Amino acid sequence: MLTYARPIFNLKNKWGNPLWHVGGWLLFIAYESFAIAMATGSAGKILFYVLHYAVNILLFYFHARVLLPSANSTRKQVIWKLPILTAIELCLFLAVKFGTDHLIAYCFPGMSESKITFDEKFIYGGIWRSVYFILLSSGYYYLIYYIQERDNRELLEKRAYEEELKAKENLIELNSARNAFLRAQINPHFLFNTLSFIYSKIHKTDPKAGKTLSLLSKIMRYALESGNGPGLVRLEEELEQAQLLLELWRIRQEEEKTEFIVKIDNDAGNVKFIPLVILTLLENMFKHGNLSMREHPGMLKINLIEGNIVVKTSNLINTGLNDSGHHTGLKNIRQRLFLTYGKDASMECQREGEYFNVEITAPVK
């Protein structure tokens, strides 16, 4: 069923501001009083005008804010509702006017010059006066309706224009992302070809350097593929790369021993998790921790607890290093956890004595 939009008499604009209405009515009453005085040659009492205009003003607002919105609520019913409601309104106006005139005559005997009777003259005069104010009220109602419709139309046009601009910006960004993705596919191709060439040249003459290059190539390939792949990967794949990273670290340390313990629940390998988080935690431990002491080994624990995956790392702090870094890797993990899990995931980093501990909790997906 089709409906009309009702005008909203908003107090924030001048059409709904009470001061504008009061000022308008004062000018209107002054105009009519002056016209009557010029036509009859005598001026009435101000109080008499105010009391009579109160009924007319009441009719004006009743017609604009009650009757017309009710009659225009549905398109099909307005044809019969408007005349019937207007007729009832005229009858009520005549009754109120008759009672008000008697009340004024009773309270202010000196104001009324003739006896008030409900005769033909009173009815015709009341109908003429009421129709006059009903027409003014209707003009006011449809003026507000027109202004509201115009403002709504301008607002819709503005929103449509903004959405069109946003769609164009999104299209430009999408095309840029597509181009960047294509470039990202091409660049690693040359990189891995170059690494393969270097490996073929050095693995026989320098096996340790060749192995290092091979491990680095595998880890880089995983990092690139997981970045372009799905949002989550099986934790088992991440742990395989963690073993490669740990082996690479041991080669880099040469003669120094690396003490590291990994404890993982049996079913944790099949759980899907954000890629590169474990690798970033290990890299942070290698960079800022001391993993060379047997009595203080680095530790990685992964447990499944009540539908959550809990990842813990602990390492002895390397006091011989200048820890001036900004821990960008840990900040990156925190942001990625929030983007993937929202408030359901948490990450706590704290120093306990000589140890630095990290604990990540996220729901199993």
The rounded distance, in Å, linking the Cα atoms of 39 and 150 is 41
Say whether both 151 and 209 belong to one domain.
no
Q: How confident is the model at residue 219 (pLDDT cuts 50, 70, 90)?
A: confident
Say whether both 225 and 146 belong to one domain.
no
pLDDT tens readout for residues 94-146: 888 888 877 777 776 665 556 777 788 888 888 888 898 999 999 988 888 88
* Residue 60, C-beta contacts closer than 8 angstroms, at least 6 positions apart: 133, 136, 137, 140
Q: What is the per-residue pLDDT for 304?
A: 94
SS3 state of residue 358: strand
* Residue 192, C-beta contacts closer than 8 angstroms, at least 6 positions apart: 217, 220, 221
pLDDT tens readout for residues 25-71: 888 877 777 777 776 665 555 566 667 788 888 899 998 888 888 88
Q: Give Rg (Cα) of the chain.
A: 42
Nearest to 93 by CA among 115, 71, 61, 48: 61
What does the buried/exposed string (b/e) look like for 157-177 if buried means 16 or more CB atoms within 10 Å of the residue's CB? Answer: eeeeeeeeeeeeeeeeeeeee
> Residues 321-346: what's their mean pLDDT?
80
Backbone phi, psi, residue 13, to 5°: -110, 170
Choose the weakest-confidence range: 51-55, 92-96, 207-211, 243-247: 51-55
> Residues 264-275: what's their mean pLDDT?
90
Say whether both 213 and 350 belong to one domain.
yes
Residue 310 has pLDDT above 90, yes or no: yes
Rounded to the nearest angstrom, the gap between the alpha carbon of residue 334 and the centroid of all alpha carbons in its chain is 23
Q: Which of 115, 141, 165 is where one domain is finished?
A: 165
* Residue 14, C-beta contacts closer than 8 angstroms, at least 6 positions apart: 20
Q: Domain with 257 in it: what CATH number?
A: 3.30.565.10
Say whether both 139 and 32 belong to one domain.
yes
> Which percentage of the chain shows pLDDT scores above 70?
81
| 192: in domain | no
Which has more pLDDT, 350 or 112?
Answer: 350
The rounded distance, in Å, linking the Cα atoms of 65 and 5 is 13
| 187: in domain | no
Q: What is the per-residue pLDDT for 123?
A: 87
The rounded distance, in Å, linking the Cα atoms of 237 and 278 is 11
22: which DSSP letter?
A: H
pTM for the model: 0.48
Domain range enclosing 91: 18-165
Say whether both 224 and 108 belong to one domain.
no
pLDDT tens readout for residues 148-162: 888 889 999 999 999
Q: How confident is the model at residue 3 (pLDDT cuts 50, 70, 90)?
A: very low
Written as six digits, the tokens of 353 are: 């004595």
Q: What is the per-residue pLDDT for 43?
A: 57
Residue 301 has pLDDT above 90, yes or no: yes
SS3 state of residue 350: strand
Q: Which of 165, 185, 211 is where one domain is finished?
A: 165
> Which percentage of the chain shows pLDDT scores above 90?
19
| 114: in domain | yes
Q: How many residues does the chain have?
A: 365
